[in-house]
Amino acid sequence: MASGKSKQTRSATADGDATRTESPGAGTSRRRGQATWWRRLTGPDGPVAGERSTLTYYALLITTLALLTFGLIMVFSVQSVTTAAEGGNAFTSFSKYLVFAVAGILGMVGISRLPLWGLKRFAWLVLLAAFALQLLVFVPGIGIDVYGNRNWIRLPAGLGTAQPSEFIKLGLCLYLGAMVSKRRDAFLGGVDTWRKFARFAGWILLPAGVGIGLVMAGGDLGTVIVLTLLVAGALWLGGLGWRWFASLGLLGLVAFAAASMLSANRRARILAWLHPDRYDPLDVGYQPLHGRYALGTGGWWGVGPGSSRQKWGYLTQADSDYIFAVLGEEFGLVGALSVIILFGVIAWCCIRIIRRCDSLYISVVTGGIMTWIVGQALINMSVVVGLLPVLGVPLPLVSAGGSALVSVLLALGVLLAFARNEPGAPEALRSRTGAVRRTLAVIAPRRRKRV
């Protein structure tokens, strides 16, 4: 061309990013052609970029273990005070919680090694089992009322209680992924006939509605909100049209408003959040107020591990719903931001899995798990800092709660299984495992048997 500009051609680099080749001196055009930092972090790797193919797997595994360690420290820090004040043994109580942590880790490792076809094939069995467990909360002598909510059951062998609704979250994620990927052409993206709507309602809305209804029958509105977000995240990645989201979202807001206004306790919590100066700080506004006191006392670096004042009876849910407040008091703004960043890393790992996979099933399940874990964490932290009214939602991996901890670890095991099957990851993991075995063979060689 007469303009004097050299022609530009696109070429693919080893890491899969699109770049431009051009004449020397055209630095501006080269920078425009390079992939953005976000695409470099989340985009696909090429066949020779093995060092990045396992990035998602190790980042997710390390982040999970870091949050779990943080949670175990905080739970013991709180229970060492609350259990001792009740005349119990803090080490005995914490050892029971440690059993759940070990079981969750073993389950996470086991699920991460399962083939993807196994996760997909048995998804409906997991959901049915979760529904059956949730029905036990309505059986006299087994179900337990806690703060007006009937969503707990007694465990044998003195292990305490469990919350079956936590496993409904995992069951819905797996089921929606399997069903959407199997019947996408039948309804998702184009529910424009009554026949398609009947299929959509029967295969998607009905199972999700049953799970949400069973939890709502027990009175746990916080878990219902998380389940709704989970379903929305899964269907969004499944390709459901925005008109359906607008319609179902409006219906959900009406149901939430009705459930809140019909309960005196929920109505009082919402009004205390909207007008904190009009409500008794020793009644419904007591815990939110002391949660902010804890965060304010922590400052930049905190008062030190185990030195929280608010956990000494001021926060009634110090080891569960308000553990983030105790964490902020003991470890300060730096500790609170560290936990937020770790949840951000989990979100980044989920986005990377979605971008790098070619399977609709993986995308839908990952979207549901991401909105569940990260969304629940955002809700919990927003409640503590006063951005939302009290909803009774724990902080994943950090708050006390054996069944919640196990279900989240199992869900992260599913994500690890997906990360192990990213492009180039199986080969890279096998080569590293072989290198470790060869190293151990050199360090501790086997003795040959004498003939």
> What is the token pair recorded at 442?
């050199």
Query: What confidence score (pLDDT) does residue 22 get?
Result: 37
CA–CA gap between residue 417 and residue 225 (Å, rounded): 27
> What is the token pair recorded at 336?
């609170």
Angle at 294 (CA atoms; ends 227, 283), nearest 5 degrees: 70
pTM score > 0.85 for this model? no
- Which positions of the chain have pLDDT values less than 50? 1-35, 37-38, 46-50, 451
CA–CA gap between residue 341 and residue 191 (Å, rounded): 39
Query: What confidence score (pLDDT) does residue 32 get?
Result: 43
How would you label 33-68 residue by residue, b for 16+ Cβ within 10 Å and e otherwise?
A: beeeeeeeebbbbbeebbebbbbbbebbbebbeebb
